Structure 1
């Protein structure tokens, strides 16, 4: 044993266990004081599209040539069933008079003089049924969500003063005047508030859920707390480290990333802890010395844990190759979180187990048969021998009926994967927020009461280079455009003209996004017909629809780059770890099949079960990164056990014992991981609900179908070929004893 205890003695020896614990305590204390927590350095409105995206370039041209100087708009939506009264309109005018005299914090630009308009002129801006009116207030773009929220709160106070009541609390379907704040400013404030609330509720729900599951599975209060304490210490290091990196400008973190990172930390961190703890418990039944049992467990599991950690870190770092900002910003925070948790599972957890010893499993303390006999003699009680079972029903099923299991598994997963072409995607972030969120309610009123194109006009800009271009007529001739405004002349380059185009469809829908190339093609055609050279470089399209279209294009590019990289990297790691081309191949194929079946089953649940019309376009890549990294952990843990056992026993017996040995811990780890992701489904943010459901489904498929049944069955079918070109076991089949006939 001595040759295998070097690392164990270093982190969990008689003295070093206390040193390890002290190092973690001091590290957390010092970092917490020296550096800010990551929550203090959130940036929730960082750009997602790269600078060379067409819509980003168009925004730059628009800002230079057509500066409004107005800032970020907050749209005040006024609504009264039956029609707005003259008194309502008069009070709105009073409010805008106050905003002119006493601007709210971070208010930008000049206030539109609604108070100076005659009442008949103001009524012309009402919706056709006279029930709704939209009036803007502009805020400094640099104010951020907190500054904008401060300004909007003051607007609400001034509104209450002007109206003698608070219309922002009124029901939209009631007879009283109701108001909502939407537009970029209102949406930004509401979204930030949702994610901030999600951080706290998510953390509490995750901790409670993990604790309950651990108590139900292991029935030991001490054991249930060990992974949570380890995760807590890890987070105590991760948060200030990320906070420092964000403060220095090395990384950017937002509320959504922190929320998902919390889930990842508890799910993956608990898995790593359980891999070691379960092995330690098994060894305590065979080793009287808890020190030897711990060192043995650490030796047996450290390789698989290290491999798992490297796999997850590599998958997360692959996001650095993404161009979409939300993907790219996830890479470093998630990698740092897993790295710290991985180190904690191999240092802090062994130290705590060394300190607590067998007491970690109280009241169901694992003891050797000799210890049980001695304990029974002292208490004058009969000895209760622990039943030793070398394999279980699942392992026997996989090795006795491998063809049946393989075919059924492939048909089931293949059928679910066949659903994926039905998936529909959306890039409208607002649609993922709760329907009763004020900014979404106001947005819906604008869509219902006014022209759909009024929600977000498309700004088409062209450089005519002095040629006469009749673009207005070309755009107006497109069937999906309801109105094309008069051209505006550029402030810097007078040859640049801008047209505000209103679409006849909802500008946030996929249908509108698909029209952007047609609008660009029409503009280029008009320039080309007018004799403008290289028209493709002289057309710019700005607006939310163009931004969403570019988001789709960039997202599809990232999928084509990141997913192959992750597949290639995990394949390389498996080859190095297993030294087998065949096993690496079928493990990767089952991973890919499991991913597509997860998307199919996830869509069935979200669409037919929860009524989602579409899922956010970012979900497929996020899901693959997490499922590929975390799901492969279980295969690594299982296969490494089978490989080790095959050196001393027939392969089929090694498979059965490997399934039995790793089954309980992988099942419990999978349940915990799936449950932590499922917690996201309790939040009021659809993008997190969808991500949580799909990822949880994927973990469960892997835990209960791919890992215990499909992989062992395929390994059985392949036999010695599963090890090619590595060294295969000498014996594949084992001779099972004939059943003894019952007497009588």
Structure 2
């Protein structure tokens, strides 16, 4: 385990260097923000998640070639009135389609001309109880979410002028006419709007929770602001750097990654700041020279801070090897933000502490007995009693009854972890929306009045080689298939036949996704029965259900690859830093157990408490990478203290003092980190709510069970073997040999 050299503090927090350090950060932030675009200006929320070689992507490309759809992207506008639509409603709707035909709204390409339909044909479009009708309006495929939203808003204005009130604002369960926009256009608009609205509210809530927790824990306004200054400057540097990388096409960023990046930056960044601040405060109780105290604090804590930050940076950077686009898009923003924050915590924060000195902790300023007496005399007050070092109760427990602690804590975590295999997953974006979002409300009405499968049919294409195939009959016999369209002939290859298959179930559900292999098998069997060789090479399935199935397969592949890589990389870092194989093994084992416990407990809360049927499929990998990396932060900081103290005292005493010395800062850091992730639960997006719950739980388990109880208790039980084959074991053996000779 290495420590920073004694001169490091002078370079960033000396008499002159502290001002130079502050000036460098100010100039850097100003120059970058004046010359480069902010990351928020370069977000792309329509980036693809699947690579070109995925089956569903190839199928989409073939469908566009052989069965071109010149109508565009559909917005399904669901018109509904409890008790049945009135004649006036339908008349106005026909007038609306006539206006949309003659005067299209922005980015509109086509609209179904209901005004040209005779009454019998119009009646055929109504639901069985005549309460609902769907109006498809098509928009340009090249239009992004903002452009689509502009067109829908213009359409809403036209509808309000016709109906005298806006049906898009009416209650879907009321007696008045209501309208909701769903389908690809509605889902795209709502998804983008939810994440855009989340950015500002998330930033405000995160800053407030960090500020409030710092004030409650440390009761010092200046100290509460110092970490926020560090995080603020880090973000001012990170945002334009990510902005230019996105502008040059090197990376792709979206609203979701920026939102979580802000939380990570404030949570983890504040933790790194507190690690050095707490060490500085401890030394000020014993060192009268604030400069010496700060330099020692920097020397003692910078190694652990650097190693903690590197574990997070490398873990998050490993997401680059993912095939799923959403995972890849997280890698650079997250790892770069932590790297910049790490640099800020090792340079800017020491400089600010050097500038403010003991005043940083006002009004509870730490002073040596001599300084405290002089200060009291100056104020005309009696000298305060000498400050006593508090004995760590937890340190005593883990060193006197380690097996009791280990067994109790491991059993508790194992009970939670037992629920992890029960977790159910979904890749349905629509289910992560709040229930009152228009696209979800419209989809619900379609499912109740028509068939959910109408929203996103599955398209099956086969190369018949000119042979007759019985595929339509095979598909029609499947109990989860509602309608099979007449075969369509390929535009360029007439031997390719296409079938639109409408399912009887929600096409976005996991159940529907699992039928994609079955549909492929039926298609291949049909070709084989017709005598076509290599049928597996002549079947293509496109549509949202097929894409979600590929998303699941790709996500599972990424988890199988990334999780071992993260475990391996962090293990190597721990081994390099601690020089102990044994310690590396049990530190990794404890955070892995903590992760599965967080996943299990999170499922208990999300499923049994909040009533969710499943969690988003991407959450386990995100949570794993975050919790494994962040969980080691606290272990590294505490174990570093024990390792250092073990050089001067017996192991049990080193554990007692190490736990006691780091307990307050790690507890406060854990509360702040968990609090920032918990802020995600206030957002209206279920994927972020679920991620926030599981990650916050994991941080709390690490903070209050793994770090203070399990790790020091295991270290106590292992004794000198906890350091094997590191340097400390050899030192201990050497000291023991010297004592034996003296006796």
TM-score normalised to structure 1 length: 0.97
**For residues 90 and 282 of structure 1, do their structure 2 counterparts lie closer, same or farther at Cα, with a shift above 3 Å needed?**
same
Q: Secondary structure at the match of 1:135?
A: strand
Match of 2:330 in 1: 330
Could you give the per-residue CA deviations for residues 544-588 of structure 1, whole angstroms, max 9, x where no partner exists?
Answer: 111111111111101000111000000000110011111100111
Q: How does 1:320-469 map to 2 (within 5 A)?
A: 320-389=320-389, 391-469=391-469
The answer on whether the counterparts of 1:650 and 1:730 sit within 8 Å (CA) in structure 2 is no
Taking the TM superposition and a 5 Å limit, the aligned residue runs for 1:15-30 are 15-30=16-31
User: 8 Å contact 1:452–1:505 — kept in the other structure?
Assistant: yes
1:51-100 deviations in Å (ceiling 9; x for gaps): 11111111111110000111111111000111111211111111111111
Q: How does 1:56-71 map to 2 (within 5 A)?
A: 56-71=57-72
Corresponding residue for residue 562 of structure 2: 562
Equivalent residue number for residue 172 of structure 1: 172
Partner Cα separation in structure 1 for residue 381 and residue 6 of structure 2: 37
Which SS does the other structure have where 2:469 is aligned?
A: coil
Distance 1:379 1:28 in 2: 42
Counterpart of 1:14 in structure 2 is 15
> Shift of the alpha carbon at 1:673?
0.1
Aligned to 1:259: 259
Secondary structure of 2:462's partner?
Answer: strand
Partner secondary structure for residue 506 of structure 1: coil
Q: 1:562 to 1:258 in 2, by over 3 A?
A: same
How far 1:390 moved relative to its partner? 5.8
Paired position in structure 1 for 2:100: 99
> Structure 1 residue 90 and structure 2 residue 91: aligned?
yes
Q: Which residue of 2 aligns with 1:78?
A: 79
Cα displacement (A) at 1:732: 13
Q: Give 1:449 shift.
A: 0.6
Please give the per-residue CA displacement for 1:244-286, whole angstroms capped at 9, x wherever unaligned: 1111111111111111000000000000000000001111111
Please state how far the C-alpha of 1:479 moved relative to its aligned partner.
2.1
Residue 224 (1) aligns with residue 224 (2): yes
Corresponding residue of 1:148 = 148
How far is the alpha carbon of 1:375 from its aligned partner?
2.2
Instruction: Note closer, same or farther for the CA distance 1:66–1:622 as it changes in structure 2 (3 Å cut).
Output: same
Cross-structure match for 1:200: 200
Q: Give the whole-Å Cα distance in 1 for the aligned partners of 2:516 and 2:376.
A: 80
Contact 1:650 / 1:732 at 8 angstroms: preserved in 2? no
SS for the counterpart of 2:716 is helix
Question: 1:497 aligns to what?
Answer: 497
The equivalent of 1:645 in structure 2 is: 645
Displacement after TM superposition at 1:5 (Å) = 3.5
Q: Which moved more, 1:424-433 or 1:446-455?
A: 446-455
Equivalence for 1:44: 45
3-state DSSP of counterpart to 1:138: strand
CA distance in 2, matches of 1:129, 1:717: 72
Instruction: For 1:143 and 1:410, locate their aligned partners in 2 and report how far apart those are by CA, in whole Å.
Output: 54
Counterpart secondary structure, 1:291: helix
Cα displacement (A) at 1:144: 0.5
Deviations 1:162-189 (A, max 9, x none): 2222111111111111101111111111
Partner residue in 2 for 1:661:
661
Give the Cα–Cα distance (whole angstroms) in 1 for the partners of residues 500 and 14 of structure 2: 72
Question: How far did 1:380 drift?
Answer: 4.3
Q: Find out whether 1:550 has 2:546 as its counterpart.
A: no
Note the C-alpha offset of 1:379: 3.8
CA pair 392-473 structure 1, distance change in 2 beyond 3 A: same
Shift of 1:140: 1.2
* Matched position secondary structure for 1:142: coil
Structure 2 residue runs without a partner (length 5+): 737-743
Q: Secondary structure at the match of 2:108?
A: coil
Match for residue 580 of structure 2? 580
Query: In the alignment, is the contact (CA less than 8 A) between 2:75 and 2:139 conserved in 1?
Result: yes
Distance 2:157 2:379 in 1: 75
8 A contact 2:4–2:300 mirrored in 1: no
Aligned equivalent of 1:738: none
Of 472-481 and 287-296, deviating more is 472-481
Contact 2:223-2:360 at 8 Å conserved across structures: yes
Distance 1:203 1:559 in 2: 30
- Counterpart of 1:730 in structure 2 is 732
> How far did residue 376 of structure 1 move?
3.0
Task: Give the Å deviation of 1:361.
Answer: 0.4
| Aligned match of 1:742 | none
Question: In the alignment, is the contact (CA less than 8 A) between 2:4 and 2:303 conserved in 1?
Answer: no
| Paired residues of 1:72 and 1:139 also in contact (CA < 8 A) | yes
Structure 1: segments with no counterpart, 5+ residues: 735-744
Is the CA contact (8 Å cut-off) linking 1:650 and 1:733 kept in structure 2? Answer: no
CA distance in 1, matches of 2:340, 2:620: 27
- The Cα RMSD (Å) is 1.5
User: Residues of 1 paired with 2:680 and 2:451: CA distance?
Assistant: 35
Distance 1:154 1:271 in 2: 48
Mapping of residues 478-493 of structure 1, within 5 Å: 478-493=478-493
2:240 maps to which residue?
A: 240
Summarize deviations over 1:642-679 as a string: whole Å, max 9, x none: 11100110000000100011110000000000000000
Check conservation: 1:651, 1:733, Cα contact below 8 A: no
Kept in 2, the 8 Å contact 1:719–1:732? The answer is no
Structure 2 residue matching 1:730: 3-state secondary structure:
helix
- Which residue of structure 2 aligns with residue 712 of structure 1? 712
1:111 is displaced (CA, Å) by 2.6
Counterpart contact for 1:4–1:296, Cα < 8 Å: no
Choose 158-167 or 94-103, whichever is displaced more: 158-167
2:741 corresponds in structure 1 to none
2:739 matched to which residue of 1? none
* Structure 1 Cα separation of the partners of residues 710 and 386 of structure 2: 30
Cα distance, 1:218 vs. partner? 0.4
Distance 1:64 1:297 in 2: 66
- 1:510 counterpart residue number: 510
Whole-Å Cα distance in 2 between the matches of residues 612 and 361 of structure 1?
45
Deviations 1:135-177 (A, max 9, x none): 1111112210111111111011111122222111111111111
**Does structure 1 retain, via aligned residues, the 8 Å contact 2:443–2:452?**
no
Aligned to 1:617: 617
Does structure 1 retain, via aligned residues, the 8 Å contact 2:627–2:698?
yes
Find the aligned partners of 2:265 and 2:48 in 1 and give their Cα distance. 26
**How many residues are treated as equivalent by the alignment?**
732
Report the counterpart of residue 212 of structure 1 in structure 2. Answer: 212
Tell me the alpha carbon deviations over residues 382-418 of structure 1, each in whole angstroms, 9 at most, x when there is no partner. Answer: 3223433263100100000000001011111111111
Matched with 1:471 is: 471
- Distance in 1 between the 2:721 and 2:467 partners? 72
Instruction: Give yes or no for contact 1:4–1:295 (8 Å, CA) kept in 2.
Output: no
**Could you list the per-position Cα deviations for residues 585-622 of structure 1 after superposition, in whole angstroms to 9, with x for gaps in the alignment?**
01111111111111000001111111111100011000
Q: 1:29 offset after TM fit, Å?
A: 0.9
- Secondary structure of 2:421 counterpart: helix
Please list the CA deviations of residues 466-499 of structure 1 after superposition, one character each: whole Å capped at 9, or x if unmatched: 2221211111122221221111000011111011
Q: Is the 8 A contact 2:552 2:617 kept in 1?
A: yes
Mapped partners of 2:451, 2:105: distance in 1: 30
Q: 1:669 to 1:106 in 2, by over 3 A?
A: same
Once the two structures are superposed, the pairs formed by residues 274-353 of structure 1 within 5 Å of their partners are 274-353=274-353
Q: Which moved more, 1:388-397 or 1:165-174?
A: 388-397
